[in-house]
Chains A and B, each alone.
Chain A
Amino acid sequence: MPVNDEWTDIGLLGRITTYNWKSEIIIVGLIAAYVCLHYFGVSLNQKKADAWFASHEPTLAKQFYQVGVTPVGAANQKHFEKDSPTEFSTYATGRVNIANFIARIELKGRHNLVVLALEYIISFFFTIPAPVDRVEIRINPSNDAQVEDFIFAVVNKDGMNDARQDNYYLSLTRTSDSDKLPINFVFMSESAEITETVFSRELKAAVKGAENVLEYLAITDLPVDRPNTLEGLKPQPRIILKTKLPTTEEEYKVSSRIIEAALNLVDSLASKAKWRPEVAKKIMATREAETKKIQKTLDAAKAEELAAKKLEAKKEQAQQSANLSPEAQRKAEQKRKEKEQRKLKSKQSKRM
């Protein structure tokens, strides 16, 4: 804006009223709209999380003493911990055979529409999955339950390859179709006998018609991420349940049914799942093979480190001798050569 007499003459008020504010109005309007959309998205996610909790609370309350993140009897009962605008988690404890129940709700980033739109576009062009609302539940059996070590899962065929790729424990199982399952699901299990024992009637009923909700239900003693250390391979039985966030009343019923079946499953595992020696051996063999693999990589890393250290020492020695006088250098060189020769000789004599 050129400063000329006309603008200075009309004074501040005059300038404000005369100036064309159109572009500023548009910019401020857009920012306001964006902020509004942000808050709208945040509240939408909150509502979805609330709906999940409200619908599953009766099932959980039937099973657990404490449901929610606050202790029983606390003044302000809180259902969730809100970890971020897209992540909510809840907790339940106080039940025979189960140490705790943790549900994490992961929602689409509705608070940031631009990023969300980008995620959709990227997922089309690259092999990155499109954003989905999902719930991940982990049930940790208590130590008294003494659940055996094994891996078993019912997996939705939709995305089963991703499930195998994302979960270390699933990539140790065999995938098989079964007429006990709806066409949309497969078993991923270490042995047919495990499937036979673990797949209860209640589970069968729960899985029926669950193709739009259940992604997988797994029982495993091995971790989700491939371990790099031997400690990481230590068995720790757990049930992992991954579902999509239900959208209809019917889907919510299915979801509750699956969770209830998974909780009851722990009881049957605690009391009866003892394997025949052949099956136990097979399960052991898988773990031993994995242990060996880790040991091998650990050894390789160690050897590499050792070699690097040796190289470092040699370099240092060279540096030191370079600082000496020529006479001393020659002496050191001779000493080193003699030493090497002796080594060689002893090696040769050993061979003979």
Chain B
Amino acid sequence: MVNAAISNLVIMLVMMQVSKKIPFEDPTVLLLVRGAYILSNVLIFGLYFYTKSLIMKKNDLTTMKYVEPSSPLSGSDESKLITTTIRDYDLQQVKTATKGVFTGIAMMGFMHLYMQYTNPLLMQSIMPLKSAFEQPIVQIHLFGKPSSGDLKRPFKAPSLFNAGGAGADAKTDKKAVAEAEKAGSGGAKEE
């Protein structure tokens, strides 16, 4: 498969040219574009719901452990161990993706309804749909791809600049897990 970032860029450039040609002032065109956007989001939700039902049906309760790297945003500098099952991990991924769609819709709603931009509507009917199909979770469950290589759990965080790799990926090696497992980090009272 072609690198997702590159294909995104190509689509973006092409769509920018295309959207210049489209007369957004025409009410019928506007209606069509809005319809396309709504349809696209319905498709995305349907896709995620279907994936979720596939995960529930498979019900893979294999235990998986990994050490989540500390994130500077959350304020904690301690990396922590996540003990979960394949099913719960996958469901979590679907939930995160669904939340992302909600965020996108909220942003689009603001841009289109409040700021009266129409151009992004077209772009936003294609890109999220494409990235939804590219989600590892959808690839594994819908297309039946094996969970190895790029699709190995825990999934790598997608980044634009994956050359450097700031070491923000989850660790799964035995040593790191064993170390974090008995660290006694639970039950911390929040102040």
Interface residues, chain A, with chain B CB atoms under 8 Å away:
124-125, 157-158, 160-161, 164-175, 177, 183-184, 186, 223-226, 286, 290, 293
CB-CB under 8 A from A124, the residues of chain B are 95
Q: Which of B83, B95, B178, B188 interacts with A160 by CB under 8 Å?
A: B83
CB-CB under 8 A from A157, the residues of chain B are 61, 63, 85, 88
Indicate if B65 sits at the interface (CB-CB under 8 A): yes
Q: How far is the CB of B103 from chain A (nearest CB, A)?
A: 10
Q: 24 interchain pairs (CB within 8 A)? A: A157-B63, A157-B85, A160-B83, A160-B84, A161-B83, A161-B84, A164-B81, A165-B186, A165-B187, A166-B186, A167-B187, A168-B186, A168-B187, A171-B184, A171-B185, A172-B184, A174-B178, A175-B181, A184-B61, A186-B63, A225-B188, A226-B186, A290-B184, A293-B184
Q: State whether A226 and B188 are in contact (beta carbons under 8 Å apart), knowing that A160-B83, A160-B84, A174-B182 are contacts in the complex.
A: yes
| Contact across chains for B181 and A170 when beta carbons are under 8 A apart | no
Indicate if B82 sits at the interface (CB-CB under 8 A): yes
Interface residues, chain B, with chain A CB atoms under 8 Å away:
61-63, 65, 80-85, 88, 95, 99, 102, 178, 181-189
CB-CB under 8 A from A158, the residues of chain B are 88
Q: How far is the CB of A155 from chain B (nearest CB, A)?
A: 9
Give the docked Cα–Cα distance between A167 and B81 (Å). 14
Give the docked Cα–Cα distance between A166 and B187 (Å). 4
The chain A residue with its CB closest to the CB of B89 is A161
Q: How far is the CB of A229 from chain B (nearest CB, A)?
A: 12
Q: How far is the CB of B76 from chain A (nearest CB, A)?
A: 12
| Contact across chains for B61 and A172 when beta carbons are under 8 A apart | no
| Contact across chains for A171 and B187 when beta carbons are under 8 A apart | yes
The chain A residue with its CB closest to the CB of B178 is A174
CB-CB under 8 A from A168, the residues of chain B are 184, 186-188
Give the docked Cα–Cα distance between A50 and B40 (Å). 50
Ranked nearest first, the 8 interchain pairs of A and B with the lowest CB-CB distance are A168-B187, A171-B186, A226-B187, A225-B187, A172-B184, A226-B188, A157-B85, A175-B83
Q: How far is the CB of A221 from chain B (nearest CB, A)?
A: 14
Give the docked Cα–Cα distance between A226 and B186 (Å). 7
CB-CB under 8 A from A293, the residues of chain B are 184
Give the docked Cα–Cα distance between A241 and B105 (Å). 43
CB-CB under 8 A from B81, the residues of chain A are 164
| Contact across chains for B184 and A226 when beta carbons are under 8 A apart | yes
The chain B residue with its CB closest to the CB of A172 is B184
| Contact across chains for A224 and B187 when beta carbons are under 8 A apart | yes
CB-CB under 8 A from B61, the residues of chain A are 157, 183-184
Q: Which of B62, B65, B189 interacts with A226 by CB under 8 Å?
A: B189
The chain A residue with its CB closest to the CB of B187 is A168
| Contact across chains for A170 and B186 when beta carbons are under 8 A apart | yes
| Contact across chains for A175 and B65 when beta carbons are under 8 A apart | yes
| Contact across chains for B182 and A177 when beta carbons are under 8 A apart | no
Can you name 20 extra interface pairs (CB under 8 A) apart from A169-B186, A175-B181, A226-B184? Answer: A125-B99, A157-B63, A157-B85, A161-B82, A161-B88, A164-B81, A164-B83, A164-B186, A165-B80, A165-B185, A168-B184, A168-B187, A169-B187, A171-B182, A172-B182, A173-B181, A175-B65, A186-B63, A226-B186, A226-B189
Name, among A165, A224, A293, the residue most crowded by chain B CB atoms within 10 Å (CB to CB): A165
Give the docked Cα–Cα distance between A184 and B87 (Å). 11
Q: How far is the CB of B92 from chain A (nearest CB, A)?
A: 10
Q: How far is the CB of B19 from chain A (nearest CB, A)?
A: 32
Name, among A171, A172, A225, A226, the residue most crowded by chain B CB atoms within 10 Å (CB to CB): A171
Give the docked Cα–Cα distance between A169 and B182 (Å). 10
Q: How far is the CB of B80 from chain A (nearest CB, A)?
A: 8
Q: How far is the CB of A298 from chain B (nearest CB, A)?
A: 16
Give the docked Cα–Cα distance between A226 and B185 (Å). 8
The chain B residue with its CB closest to the CB of A184 is B61
CB-CB under 8 A from B102, the residues of chain A are 125
Q: How far is the CB of B59 from chain A (nearest CB, A)?
A: 9
| Contact across chains for B181 and A174 when beta carbons are under 8 A apart | yes
The chain B residue with its CB closest to the CB of A190 is B182
Give the docked Cα–Cα distance between A173 and B178 (Å). 10
Name, among B85, B99, B181, B186, the residue most crowded by chain A CB atoms within 10 Å (CB to CB): B186
The chain A residue with its CB closest to the CB of B95 is A124
